[in-house]
Every structure is written in structure tokens, then in C-alpha cells.
Amino acid sequence: MSSIKDVAREAQVSIATVSRVFNNPGVVSDQTKTRVYSAAEKLKYTPNFSAKTMRKSIVGTIIVMIPDISNTFFIDIVHGAQDYAEMRGYNILMGRFDILHFDLRKYVELVKSKAADGIVMALGHNRHFASVAEAKNIPIVTIEEKFMENPYIYVDNSEAINKIVEYLISKGRTRIGFLGFKSEKERLFAFKNSITKNGLEYDEELVKKGDEFGEAVYTSAREYVETILKNGKIPDAVVCASDVLAAGVIKWLIKNGLRVPQDVAVTGFDNIEVAELVHPGITTVEQPREIMGREAARLLINKIEGQEVAKKIGFRTRIVIRDSA
């Protein structure tokens, strides 16, 4: 059986660092956490946590709820949560919720009936749901947005959008458009602020918000390109609120005879697999999705086991530069 020393040696960090990763990861960099988690998985190392995990009231199962099982962003969060939960001796159940008809009660009932111990909810940013009376006193941790005063994990979307806009400006782009989702406001608000702050014109005709799920995402990208071509107002760069939107914009720009990035630079958000697979590869904002899932699971399990947990934990994003911009 591997020891904490073995993990430290494999990850090329100190034993104290390994201990911090599993007990207080908020003080450890994302890069170091990834190395330690990878080493622990490779060596099949299981941390020796408190005997609280042996309490009969804990069944050893958590629920991870996501709004879209077709979105790699949310699936990566589930993977991260599962990896960490299994290291703590917990299983996970994955559930899907409908953002248009949000009903948490059936999952709360699973916890109350002791079929599970608590819930991680990946809400998506700018989604705010009314309190659910039945969920009071149920261990819950959310990702991206706060819900009922529960702990939550988030990234600074405003900072991320500002970074990508300033990157485009540094490349000489001056007419920058935006394609986002109807369900979100923060990234568009940050885009508008960044454009005006940097002395550029904010043009409503270069901005569109579409639907978020399934084929509607590709439809939004096609309609955006059709609109800018029809209006004769073609930006020299487009900031997209997701990599899937960016992939769609790239496809329709090229189909209409425009070159990416020579004529129009395109950026995405999330750094999911599609960003690397399409041609040209998408310059994008990376969110540490699996680490966010791990951290949410850690907070939830600590909460289940009666430990004090942070109210919120933020992660920084980074720009991944590829050929689209």
C-alpha cells in the first residue's frame, strides 16, 4: 500500500505539501494540486482521514447534479468530483436538472432517506434559483453560483473576459464582437466594460445572445455569422462565451469565405476538448474544471463529516493560445 511519502516522491513535492492538498487545498496552487492528485491516482493512495467517515450515519454516497450531460465542461466537473470522492471512500450518483423547471426536491429526498449524504450542484454562471425549503440543513455545495448560503466554487468571469479582450487588442484587433448566451449576463457585462475601458467602440450590432443547449448552440453561431454578413459589419475579432460557440462561428465564417484568424480572430471559453480538435485550434480561456469538481467534493465531504468549511473558493483562469486568434 502506498504511503504519503510515496506520493510526495512521485509528485516531487514535500510530504507537508501532499498533506495540505488533501486537507487544506485552498492554499496550494492548481498546478501542484494536479500533480499530487495524479500521483495519488497512479499509486492508488487513499488518504487516512478522520474516523468520522466510519460513522454509521454516513452512507458514503454523494450526488453530483449538472444541467447538461452533453456539455464536456460539466462532465469534466463530474470526473473531478468522482476522483476525489473515491479517494475519500465515497461513491457518486450523477443527476441532471432542468434549468427551466428547477426542482431539487427529489434529490433532497434521496439525502433525507439516507440514500445519499449530500449534493454537489454545478449550476453554471449567472443562474440564480429560489430557495427550496426542503433543502434546508442538507449538505450542499454549488459550483459557479451561490445557492441558499451554501459553500460554492467559482471563477472570476469578469477578469477572464477582460484578459481575452486585452489579448485581442494587443494583437491589433479594434472591432470586437461578442456571442454569448441568453442565460448569462456577467461575461457580456465584462465584455462591454473591457471594450469601453480600452477606448474601443461597443457596437450592439456585433453582439448576440443565443440559446445554450444542444443544436441551438450551433444555430446561434450560424445566425450570428449570417447577421454580421447581412449587415456588412464584420468584426475583426469575436469573443465567444464557450468553445462550442467559437467552433460554430469558425465553421460558418470559413464556409462564407472568411479566413480565421487573418480576417476574423475567434476566441472561446472553457478549454474543453473541442478547442484543440477543430481547425484552426481555438484560443480560449481555461477553467480548471476537474479541480473545481474535486474541490466541490472535498468541501461537501468535509461538511458531511462535520468539519468547518470555507464559504467560497475562487479559481483563476488562464488564456490558452492557439491558431484562431
Residues of the chain with pLDDT under 50: 51-56
What residue segments make up the domains of the chain, in order of their start? 1-48, 157-286
Beta carbons of 62 and 296 less than 8 angstroms apart:
no
Q: What's the confidence (pLDDT) of residue 69?
A: 84
What residues contact 230, with CB distance under 8 A and at least 6 apart? none
Question: What is the C-alpha to C-alpha distance for residues 237 and 218, in angstroms, rounded to an integer?
Answer: 18
Helix (H, G, I), strand (E, B) or coil at 187: helix
What is the DSSP annotation of 222-257? HHHHHHHHHHT---SEEEESSHHHHHHHHHHHHHTT
Amino acid at 193: N
Question: What is the C-alpha to C-alpha distance for residues 69 and 287, in angstroms, rounded to an integer?
Answer: 18
What are the b/e assignments for 212-241, b being 16+ CB within 10 Å?
Answer: beeeebbebbbebbeebeeeeebbbbbbbb
Q: What's the confidence (pLDDT) of residue 53?
A: 45
**Using one digit for the tens of pLDDT, what is the confidence trace for 99-139?**
777 788 889 999 999 899 999 999 877 677 888 888 899 99
What residues contact 247, with CB distance under 8 A and at least 6 apart? 221, 268, 274, 275, 278, 282
pTM higher than the cut 0.85: no
The fourth-level CATH superfamily of domain 1-48 is lambda repressor-like DNA-binding domains (1.10.260.40)
Question: What is the C-alpha to C-alpha distance for residues 120 and 103, in angstroms, rounded to an integer?
Answer: 15
CA 14 from centroid of its chain's CA atoms: 29
Q: What's the confidence (pLDDT) of residue 242?
A: 92
Q: What's the confidence (pLDDT) of residue 213?
A: 63
CATH of 157-286, one of 3.40.50.2300, 3.40.50.300, 3.20.20.60, 3.30.390.50: 3.40.50.2300
Q: What's the confidence (pLDDT) of residue 212?
A: 63
Q: What's the confidence (pLDDT) of residue 20?
A: 78
